[in-house]
Chain A
């Protein structure tokens, strides 16, 4: 039970939904090209410190946080669970995303001295999981059907998806005219493990009956697909440990897993000297799961209204026993789990970003001096974010202020409103001394006073080595 509590805690606290509002447009950080491939990184070349260049964890849950469940306020745990369950619905979810860059790098190139185009590449590992609250399942388990005659318990409330994969990518950012840049990043996904149960449907309903007091209607259409997990289970059943699977997991992450393809697209356009708009579409792609696939399905309809004794003394035909046996068979068939190994395809969660920025506070005249080309010290703007989730697009809006204090230090403050929170304040720093670059970005800062009250949190940090363009003189 303690483990469960910590798991609950982990899901409810540790971890906004893949929104990298602090990183987006923070162009001093090379990894900002991962959220918009068109950005102008404005350096000669960079190398990410292996395993340390981008460490990212984020997660959250809507509708419930640790405090809601575990507050030490004299109310009983049972009552709080009930209050939470009454408040949440099937659109609430818990979410976790983690990324670790294994390796990355990039360089500028071009015909002019400014070398205005940029190629970047790398490998990162990603874990992404989302589970919607199976509201009707919970209600049925907690209340039973007795107080719910006539109410359908919807089985589509079960929606879970999780994946562990690595991403190999190369991208190019290209200046197409004096005002505009476009970018594209090609990705190969190598999935080590995947589980998804998204397209469930059906219901269980108890209604007033025709022949008997009650009729129970079962309409079940449930399916779960997985890849990369069957071999783990088999090994565990055989050896009681997972030592082999862990090494095969490593192979699966390095293109030995189920493969997929994807693309990121982005643009940046200067409306005036000071106003810029930009946008990106990330992870437009799929993974084809053909290896180590294990899928289960339950499918069937049945109407049960009881069983009918026929008193064989006076009539031929079915006895109560035969009727009962038939009912038992029907139920067995209804709940029979079909196991298949057919391949399936998943789409990656598509993400959209858009922003409008206003730069101000000219620090220097146009002079090719200093590390960065832009003469402005400050910018403010609005950013929009949306991610495609199993039920719908989830979105967030961010207002930000970014300031370049010097060639060595920049900071960005964000205020974000999304499903998790209406007062999410984030703060990020990027610093560079010599070639050594470090950044750290964290949001939901107000909640750090008491993490238990947080519905979400995220942290990103990393080290890079960044080398200026040759013409830069300081």
Chain B
């Protein structure tokens, strides 16, 4: 029976009954409503099964290296290297506990008429090698084509090698030319690199 009809019936009764009965029946009705209220078809234990999986994209390294930088006092350098030490971001609890996968995307545009190798090296606290990636860049690769795309993937099996990383070293290695030509301090072409990391987190509530 719906409560509308209960209300309707009660109204009729209320007008006909003597005072005391009216009085009690009305309270009985309201009390009944309040007491018989219930919570059904819900399962609070479900809140233990929450899984959230946010994906964040973060800018990483970017650089634009002129050809002249590979020349020092007239002589070609074999490589240029730069590094970041004491990286603390990966010691953050959220990262340690919830980071499950990371894809690092690199875009390289090479205007210089020379081939390069781009090395990215991940070292731990004791400078032990955790991971190294090498990408080969053809001479002037982007003049005729799109920027070259490279990815370094850390999946569930090796994500720890990223989490343990304290130092990241970037190296542009200049490969010898095929015709014997060399770069000069007046060369203005550049090799440039842009990058971002896509970080996959997974947080699950546990009992």
Q: How far is the CA of A448 from the CA of B199 in the complex (A)?
A: 46
Give B55-99 as 1s and 0s: 1 = Cβ < 8 Å from A's Cβ atoms.
111111111010011111000010011111101100000000000
The contact of B59 among A66, A71, A306, A442, by CB within 8 Å, is A306
Contact A306 B61 (CB under 8 A): yes
The residues of B that contact A131 with a CB separation of less than 8 Å are none
Which secondary structure characterizes the binding site on chain B?
A: mixed
Interface-lining segment among A111-119, A205-213, A219-227, A387-395: A205-213
On whether A311 and B42 interact (CB within 8 A), knowing A5-B47, A216-B58, the answer reads no
Please tell me if A367 contacts chain B, counting CB pairs below 8 Å.
no
With A66-B39, A214-B57 given, is the CB distance from A1 to B107 under 8 Å?
no
Task: State whether A451 touches B37 (Cβ < 8 A).
Answer: yes
The answer to whether B196 touches A1, judged by C-beta atoms less than 8 angstroms apart, is: no
B27 → chain A, closest Cβ, in Å?
7
Contact A76 B170 (CB under 8 A): no
Cross-interface CB contact of A81 among B3, B40, B50, B83, cutoff 8 Å: B50
Check if B33 is an interface residue, CB within 8 A of chain A: yes
Q: CB-CB contacts of B179-201 with A at 8 A, as 1s and 0s?
A: 00000000000000011101101
Q: Does A365 contact B (CB under 8 A)?
A: no
Residue of A73, A306, A309, A312 with most chain B CB atoms under a 10 A cut-off: A309
Residue from B56, B59, B81, B87 within 8 A of A305 (CB atoms): B59
Stretch at the interface among A140-148, A175-183, A262-270: A140-148
Given A9-B44, A429-B27: A320 in contact with B37 (beta carbons within 8 A): no
A446 neighbours in B (Cβ, 8 Å): 3
CB nearest to B42 among chain A residues: A70
Q: Do A72 and B41 touch (CB < 8 A)? A: yes
Verify if B38 is at the interface (C-beta below 8 Å from A): yes
Contacts A1-B205, A405-B15, A445-B3 given; does A320 touch B82 at CB 8 Å: yes
Complex Cα–Cα for A81 and B33 (A):
31
Q: Name the residue on B nearest A73 (C-beta).
A: B41
Q: Which residues of A from 431 to 458 have beta carbons under 8 Å from B?
A: 431, 440, 442, 445-446, 448-452
A6 CA to B44 CA, complexed, in Å:
8
Is the pair A321, B84 in contact by a Cβ cutoff of 8 Å?
yes
Q: Do B84 and A451 touch (CB < 8 A)?
A: no
Known A-B contacts A311-B172, A406-B19; the reply to A147 vs B55 at CB < 8 A is yes
Q: Please give me the residue from chain A that is nearest to B170 by CB atom.
A: A309
By a CB distance below 8 angstroms, the chain A residues around B80 are: 311, 313-314
A309 CB contact (under 8 Å) in B7, B36, B82 = B82
Give the docked Cα–Cα distance between A78 and B205 (Å). 11
Whether B63 contacts A144 by the Cβ 8 Å rule is no
**A73 vs B72: C-alpha distance when bound (angstroms):** 72
Q: Are A309 and B40 in contact (CB under 8 A)?
A: no
Is there an interface contact between B47 and A307, defined as CB atoms closer than 8 Å?
no
In the complex, how many angstroms separate the beta carbon of B193 from the nearest chain A beta carbon? 9
Q: Which of A71, A313, A320, A427 contacts B170 (CB 8 A)?
A: A320
Chain B residue numbers with a CB within 8 Å of A405 are 14-15, 22
Q: Is A308 an interface residue (CB 8 A)?
A: yes
CA distance A66 to B38 in the complex (A): 13
A246 at the interface (CB under 8 A from B): no
Inter-chain contacts of B71 with A (CB < 8 A): 314
B42 and A310 contact, CB distance less than 8 A? no
The answer to whether A452 and B39 touch (CB under 8 A), given A213-B107, A431-B23, A445-B3, is yes
A142-B54 Cα distance, complex, nearest whole Å: 5
Chain B residues in 8 Å Cβ range of A308: 61-63
CB contact list, B4-28 vs A, under 8 A: 7, 14-15, 19, 22-23, 26-27
Contact among B49, B69, B70 for A77, CB-based, below 8 A: B49
A293 contacts B by Cβ under 8 Å: no
Distance A211 CA – B87 CA, assembled complex (angstroms)? 22
Establish whether residues A77 and B40, one from each chain, have CB atoms under 8 Å apart when the complex forms: no
| Pair A450/B38 contact, Cβ less than 8 Å | yes
CA gap between A324 and B84 in the complex, in Å = 7
The answer to whether A448 and B43 touch (CB under 8 A), given A141-B54, A321-B83, is: no
A451, chain B: closest CB distance, angstroms: 5
Q: Determine whether the beta carbon of B77 is less than 8 Å from that of A313.
A: yes
A310 interface neighbour in B22, B26, B46, B82, Cβ under 8 Å = B82
Assess whether B63 is in contact with A145, with CB atoms less than 8 Å apart.
no
A66 to B198, CA, bound (A): 35
Tell me which of B27, B54, B87 has the highest count of chain A C-beta atoms within 10 A of its own C-beta: B54
Closest to B63 in A: A309
Residues from 71 to 110 in A contacting B, C-beta threshold 8 Å:
71-73, 76-78, 81
Q: Mark A21-56, 1 if CB is under 8 A from B, else 0.
A: 000000000000000000000000000000000000
5 additional A-B residue pairs with CB within 8 Å, beyond A76-B49, A212-B59, A213-B62: A70-B42, A143-B55, A145-B57, A146-B54, A429-B27
Q: List 21 A-B contacts (CB under 8 A).
A: A67-B41, A140-B54, A141-B54, A143-B54, A144-B201, A149-B57, A209-B194, A214-B57, A216-B58, A306-B61, A309-B83, A319-B82, A405-B14, A405-B22, A409-B23, A425-B3, A445-B3, A449-B3, A450-B38, A452-B40, A459-B34
Binding site for B on A (CB under 8 A): 1-2, 4-6, 8-9, 13, 66-67, 69-73, 76-78, 81, 140-147, 149, 206, 209, 211-216, 304-315, 319-321, 324, 328, 405-406, 408-409, 411, 413, 425, 427, 429, 431, 440, 442, 445-446, 448-452, 459
